[in-house]
Amino acid sequence: MSTAFPENLRLQLRQTGVIAVLMIDRAEDAVPLARALLAGGVNGIELTLRTDAALESLRRIRAEVPEMTVGVGTILTPKQANEAKEAGASFGVAPGMNPRVVAEAIRIGLPFAPGVCTPTDIEIAIEAGCRVLKFFPSEPCGGLSYLRSIMAPFMHLGVQFIPLGGVGAGNAAHYLREPAVLALGGSWLAPKDIVAKGGWDVITALAREATDIVKEVRS
């Protein structure tokens, strides 16, 4: 069965180290926001389907900021997996592990990382063909020490994790030192109030801070 996450995409996300989780209300903000993140060295984005502007934002970023690797988050249904793929998503992410969504993502060739936070979730995700898993919500679940405990029985299968939820500049290095962590994600790189004001320089500064942490830990 497919591992659902190609090696070249894993390498891209590992190199990026941080994925900016975006909840975009206005598609007009998508391109300047992506450019601001890229200027700070962040070239991975997860656009959540929590807002109606997400797919249009994806199309615009794909067309105008092709250097950016853009995934879609909050994929809760097989239909949304199809919509994300059609709009050009490089990967899909969900808060939980829904076997129907994973099966559809594999069927249509959308690399997919379902959300897990228990050993049972991990077993189900592995059986469904996944090897890259979103650990969500990371900090409320117990953070890295909890992740290390639950991942231990599965590491011989080559599983990698993307922790999200409560991750930020203050604890990013801690997570990035763990070899099983492929990349981190979080909304801290693009606070909604800053995006609403068009504070692109602030976003670039936040992205640069994150990029510096990745470089320090991983180089």
Please state, in angstroms and rounded to a whole number, the distance separating the CA atoms of residues 9 and 183.
Answer: 11
Q: Are 61 and 30 in contact (CB under 8 A)?
A: yes
Nearer to ligand ELE, 166 or 198 (CB): 166
Q: Which stretch binds ligand ELE (CB under 6 A): 7-15, 59-67, 77-85, 181-189?
A: 181-189
Binding residues for ligand ELE, rule CB under 6 A, total 18
Q: Are 70 and 62 in contact (CB under 8 A)?
A: yes
The only residue of 21, 105, 126, 128 in contact with ligand ELE, by rule CB under 6 A: 21
Nearer to ligand ELE, 167 or 195 (CB): 167
Residues 6+ apart with CB under 8 A from 137: 117, 164, 165, 166
The only residue of 17, 71, 73, 163 in contact with ligand ELE, by rule CB under 6 A: 73
The only residue of 95, 111, 114, 143 in contact with ligand ELE, by rule CB under 6 A: 95
Q: What distances in angstroms separate CA 2 from CA 112, 125, 207, 213, one per listed residue?
A: 11, 12, 33, 33
Counting contacts by CB under 6 A, is residue 69 touching ligand ELE?
Answer: no
**Bridge partners, 45 (sequence order):** 20, 70
Please state, in angstroms and rounded to a whole number, the distance separating the CA atoms of residues 161 and 47.
Answer: 18
Please state, in angstroms and rounded to a whole number, the distance separating the CA atoms of residues 141 and 124.
Answer: 18
The only residue of 18, 106, 165, 213 in contact with ligand ELE, by rule CB under 6 A: 165
Counting contacts by CB under 6 A, is residue 114 touching ligand ELE?
Answer: no
CA-nearest of 27, 33, 46, 32 to 90 is 46
Radius of gyration for the alpha carbons in the chain, expressed in angstroms and rounded:
16
Nearer to ligand ELE, 40 or 95 (CB): 95
SS3 170: coil
Q: How far is the CB of 156 from ligand ELE (least distance, A)?
A: 27
DSSP assignment letter at 181: B
Q: How far is the CB of 100 from ligand ELE (least distance, A)?
A: 16
The only residue of 146, 187, 199, 202 in contact with ligand ELE, by rule CB under 6 A: 187
Nearer to ligand ELE, 129 or 166 (CB): 166
The only residue of 164, 172, 195, 214 in contact with ligand ELE, by rule CB under 6 A: 164
Q: Which residues bind ligand ELE (CB under 6 A)?
A: 21, 46, 48, 50, 73-74, 93-95, 136, 164-167, 185-188
